[in-house]
Structure 1
Amino acid sequence: MNSMTDTVAAAAASAAAKATAATGFRDELLAAGLLIDTGENGLYGRSQLFENVLDRVNVAITQLGADQQPEVLRFPPAMRRTDFEDSEYLKSFPNLAGTIHSFCGNDMGHRRLLRALDDAMTESDEERSDAWMAQQKPTRVVLTPAACYPVYPVMARRGPLPADGRTIDVLSYCFRYEPSLDPGRMQMFRQREYVRLGSAEQVMAFRQMWIERGSLLVTLLQLPVEVDLANDPFFGRGGKIVADSQRAQALKFELLIPLADPRGKTACLSFNYHMDHFGAIWKIVCEDGALAHTGCVGFGMERITLALFRHHGLDVNHWPDEVRALLWGDTEARVAQHMQPMQTAQRAGAGA
């Protein structure tokens, strides 16, 4: 028996099974009209029903964070290229980044572009040449990789943080280049985030609070809850060292829910502590002049919505009564009722 061959074969079989499960769920969603096929893996349209469920989840998230009185900011799904360069995203995730190019040439360049495009259009979709793109140049904007990224340079320009720091509520479409048949791994997706800027103690308390609140939301939606230590998918050979360090310092936790593959788990919420990384990059300081620490809780809006359809079925009329009441009933009152014990405990802890 060749144990190495057996191991490779088992890994290949497992990967094939996961791909089959992911494709099966995707096909169900497409057949039901919940997702709309665009012909590009990971790039979908959404139906009215899908958006309605997502919007109602978003309302519940708003109620979870209402007592924090966050400043609400909304950005387009693009950010300044210089801010993106400063963020150091390319050091860790160059394979996921998406830049925006445009034609910046003259009449001659335009004619070259059109000739190359005419040639390309004689070929099939899969074999088309991209020679016409030689006439494109990078613009001053890039696609937003995470909803919180535009927040930090904006906060830096305001000067020192107030004594109690700042809490920001942000929602944005994000882009990551990872085409997949798994509907839970989209190239364009929405993140709802609460971002905290302040001292290390303020940010750590914020993260713990949101681990509890995020778990509460998922419990109220009657979905499986598993919070585990995690790391980001850092690129390259050195990425493992960075990932190991991130785990060793317990900087990232994820709330995992079985999604496309019932035997696997997908991160639907993440709870992140950046230490003073972004504070140092953008010179964000606290009231006392110390570098600010930052953290965020991120809700994967499409993933939570997909989890609801996966676990409760594609017909929302047959979802559990308590879930329907939470989403389409008095969401504010129901969230407040379940939040009350947490808020009481938080106040007691603050007064201790």
Structure 2
Amino acid sequence: MNTMTDTAALAASDAQAAGADPTLRERLLAKGILIDTGENGLYGRSQVFEDVVERLNVAITHLGADQDPEVLRFPPAMRRTDFEDSEYLKSFPDLAGTIHSFCGSEAGQQRLLRCLDDAMKESDDDRDTEWMSQQKPTRVVLTPAACYPIYPVMARRGPLPAGGRTIDVLSYCFRHEPSLDPARMQMFRQREYVRLGNAEQVMAFRQMWIERGSLLVSLLQLPVDVDLANDPFFGRGGKIIADSQRAQALKFELLIPVANPDSKTACLSFNYHMDHFGAIWKIECEDGSVAHTGCVGFGMERITLALFRHHGLDVNAWPDDVRALLWGDTKARIDQGLAGARA
């Protein structure tokens, strides 16, 4: 039997008492498509959910195949020193996830176990965390964005070739923002195409992917709305950075109604980092100039949730063209869509 967090159970109880329709989250849990772990924003995924994610991945692969990207896959953790160098903590300290481990002696372990025994006498929300007093930071942290492990790897290779590089990367990512919105998970997957090169190459790449990302969403028969955006920078100074990001048009998002039909969720993002990462890791173009970078990010869970929101929880009843794209000749459908877009 699935358990629910206290917050989720309270919200569901209030909605039921008010006679409200079940939320998307409640319907997904009731159908067993998502599995509640007892922690807001942390879900198990059913075979049905994972099958849709995998079909989307295949479609995205065909969508970018002509770019001849280098395929790299990393675990959902990265070196702490690379994370520190990335300056992520300057902008998003509230979202970061560090990994700690026990570093005490045998006597320390006995103390840990005594503290743990005491903690387990309390209910989940009231448990004491004293047993964690001997935990220390490890040399790895949770990956906040799929592209982050790429840049130090590229830097170690030396200058980029004349045409720059395009990387295809997929990873689980972590952001500490627990929520009842199923589209705002703490652990989620990002599929990205990342471009490294000069400013012209990266800007052309981003424009191409705004068009291709919109094409994919249209083929999935989901609403397409691309808009200027900014990242959720932390603190008072973050607003200044966000305003600057918008003024320079560095970030666009493709927005789709997901959990709430009256609001929209960013399901794809199109980002131009300028020379930010190139300068941090000293990535150079062939001519010795600092490399610019950009990426398109596909929120795999969010796109999947959007499909369930707009086409229903029974994948067998989804529109024929959507099923043909995902479970039919995906390559032919994508190639046809790209040819139509060029024409």
Q: Structure 1-normalised TM-score?
A: 0.91
1:50-82: CA deviation from partner (whole Å, max 9, x where unpaired):
000110011000000000000000000000000
User: 2:236 aligns to what SS in structure 1?
Assistant: coil
User: 2:90 aligns to what SS in structure 1?
Assistant: helix
Query: How much does 1:135 deviate?
Result: 1.1
Structure 1 residues 1-352: aligned runs within 5 Å: 24-342=23-341, 344=342
Corresponding position of 1:6: none
1:82-112: CA deviation from partner (whole Å, max 9, x where unpaired):
0000000000000000000001111111111
1:97-132: CA deviation from partner (whole Å, max 9, x where unpaired):
000000111111111111110110000001001111
Aligned equivalents of 2:177 and 2:211: distance in 1? 30
| Equivalent residue letter for 1:69 | D
Query: How much does 1:310 deviate?
Result: 0.2
User: 1:302 aligns to what SS in structure 2?
Assistant: helix
Aligned equivalents of 1:230 and 1:141: distance in 2? 30
Aligned equivalents of 1:111 and 1:258: distance in 2? 51
Aligned equivalents of 2:37 and 2:330: distance in 1? 34
Query: How much does 1:341 deviate?
Result: 3.8
CA change 1:170–1:130 in 2 (3 A) is: same
1:196-255: CA deviation from partner (whole Å, max 9, x where unpaired):
000000000000000000000000000000000000000000000000000000000000
Corresponding position of 2:4: none
Whether the 8 Å CA contact 1:22–1:261 is kept in 2: the answer is no
Instruction: State the aligned residue count.
Output: 327
| Equivalent residue letter for 1:334 | R
| Equivalent residue letter for 2:227 | D
Query: How much does 1:23 deviate?
Result: 7.4
CA change 1:139–1:251 in 2 (3 A) is: same
Aligned equivalents of 1:121 and 1:341: distance in 2? 61
Aligned equivalents of 2:336 and 2:26: distance in 1? 38
| Equivalent residue letter for 1:119 | D
User: 2:302 aligns to what SS in structure 1?
Assistant: helix
User: 2:235 aligns to what SS in structure 1?
Assistant: coil
Corresponding position of 2:7: none
CA change 1:88–1:237 in 2 (3 A) is: same
Aligned equivalents of 1:76 and 1:316: distance in 2? 30
Aligned equivalents of 2:304 and 2:320: distance in 1? 17
CA change 1:202–1:23 in 2 (3 A) is: farther
Corresponding position of 1:13: none
Aligned residues: CA RMSD: 1.5
Aligned equivalents of 1:168 and 1:36: distance in 2? 32
User: 1:237 aligns to what SS in structure 2?
Assistant: helix
CA change 1:92–1:130 in 2 (3 A) is: same
Q: Which consecutive segments of 4 or more residues in structure 1 shift more than 3 A?
A: 20-23
User: 1:224 aligns to what SS in structure 2?
Assistant: coil
User: 2:183 aligns to what SS in structure 1?
Assistant: coil
CA change 1:22–1:119 in 2 (3 A) is: farther
Aligned equivalents of 2:22 and 2:148: distance in 1? 32
Aligned equivalents of 2:41 and 2:21: distance in 1? 12
CA change 1:152–1:23 in 2 (3 A) is: farther
5+ residue gaps in structure 2?
1-13
Sequence identity percentage: 83
Query: How much does 1:22 deviate?
Result: 11
| Equivalent residue letter for 1:281 | I
Aligned equivalents of 1:309 and 1:188: distance in 2? 19
Whether the 8 Å CA contact 1:144–1:174 is kept in 2: the answer is yes
1:308-346: CA deviation from partner (whole Å, max 9, x where unpaired):
00000000111000000000000001100111244x46x
Aligned equivalents of 1:23 and 1:120: distance in 2? 35
